[in-house]
Amino acid sequence: MAFALLNHQVIHWTSVGPTDAPAIVLVNSLGTDFRIWDDVAARLRDRWHIVLHDKRGHGLSDAPAGPYSIDDHTDDLLALAGHLKLDRFALVGLSIGGLIAQNLALRAPERVAALVLADTAARIGTTEGWNARIDAVRSGGLAPIADAVMERWFTPSFRAARPVELAGWRNLLLRTPPEGYGGSCAALRDADLTGRVGALSVPTLVVAGDQDLSTPPDLVRATADRIRGARFETIASCGHIPPVEQPAALAALIARHLEENGHV
Ligand SMILES: O=C(O)CCC(=O)CC(=O)O
């Protein structure tokens, strides 16, 4: 693991796999850090250079006072790519990470060889919903929302069969700084790329967990329908966090998309 000072923030990052292989940048979701990608990275690291980071407000990165914007998160990611001298890379974004990925691919399409958007949309949630979540976290921290979040992240069968892992991922959520979590909720509240995703020019795969309650498959598919040439796939027996619940299926979809688009 490593740290870099980017846009005046300490950003925690790591990479695995051969540094001379084509790069994949994985961008994580709200209330998580880059450990959610461990089981996906393990499946891809023989063939690709995998770059991971904790977005601001999360993990071991700085959590400056919010609100943040999708452009702030995108600026941090572009700065990390510059720091690592990554001219061109595949970009895989989960949920808010998918919004960051869409935004980066719109701002710097020449940098993005291929795009995978997982459990995300051009617009996620409502202003009222995000403001309520920001208020809840500001007054009570993460604990009061944690059980409801776990029900959206993971299917009932995962929660029943893997209670110890569930407790661990709940701990990850609980340890997210409230300022960082709320700051990124504001970024979600203020981001609406609906009118812009039609301009995406990068080969795009859009993926949804079939039981995702945060970004349900119909919402995810609606964004895929706006992106020229995008392919839409669902992952069976999966909630909002496929890299944890169905890493093999997600890794296989990513690998196939990159192979089909020559990023090998
Ligand atoms: O996961 C994200 O990045 C945002 C979507 C969300 O609200 C997740 C959740 O249900 O808590």
The pLDDT score that the predictor gives to residue 104 is 98
**Strands of the 204-209 sheet, one edge to the other:** 2-6, 9-16, 49-53, 23-27, 89-94, 112-118, 204-209, 231-235
Ligand 1, atom 2, lies closest to the CA of: 30
Kindly tell me the burial class for residue 5, based on how many C-beta atoms sit within 10 Å of its own C-beta (0-12, 13-18, 19 or more).
exposed
State how many domains the chain has. 1
Gap from CA of 21 to ligand 1 centroid (Å): 32
Over residues 202-213, mean pLDDT:
98
**CA distances to 72, 103, 123, 231, 251 from 220, in Å:** 23, 16, 10, 11, 19
Distance in Å, CA 214 to ligand 1 centroid: 6
Mean pLDDT for 218-246 is 98
For residue 96, give the nearest of 59, 128, 123, 131 by alpha carbon.
Answer: 123
pLDDT of 258 reads 98
Contacts of 204 (CB under 8 A, 6+ apart): 114, 115, 116, 117, 224, 227, 229, 230, 231
Characterize 129-142 residue by residue with b for buried, 16 or more Cβ atoms within 10 angstroms of its Cβ, and e for exposed: ebeebbebbeeeeb
Mean pLDDT within 223-247: 98
pLDDT tier, 231 (very low <50, low <70, confident <90, very high otherwise): very high
The answer to whether 113 and 90 are in contact (CB under 8 A) is yes
pLDDT at 254: 98
Report how far residue 225's alpha carbon sits from residue 196's, in angstroms, rounded to the nearest whole number: 13
C-alpha 162/C-alpha 180 separation (Å) is: 28
Q: What is the pLDDT of residue 17?
A: 98
Q: How far is the CA of 117 from the centre of ligand 1 (A)?
A: 14
Complex confidence, ipTM: 0.96
CATH code where residue 19 lies: 3.40.50.1820
> Rg for the chain (alpha carbons), in Å?
17
Name every protein residue with a CB atom under 6 angstroms from any ligand 1 atom.
29-30, 95-96, 124, 149, 152, 188, 214, 240
Determine the atom of ligand 1 nearest the C-alpha atom of 215: 5
Q: Indicate the helix (H) or strand (E) that contains 245.
A: helix 242-245
Q: Cβ distance 185 to 96 under 8 Å? A: no
Q: What is the pLDDT of residues 8-56, one digit of tens each?
A: 999 999 999 999 999 999 999 999 999 999 999 999 999 999 999 999 9
* Residue span of the structural domain in which 52 resides: 2-260
With cut-offs at 50, 70 and 90, classify the pLDDT of residue 117: very high
203 CB burial (10 A radius; 0-12, 13-18, 19+): buried
Q: Ligand 1: which atom is nearest the Cα of residue 124?
A: 5
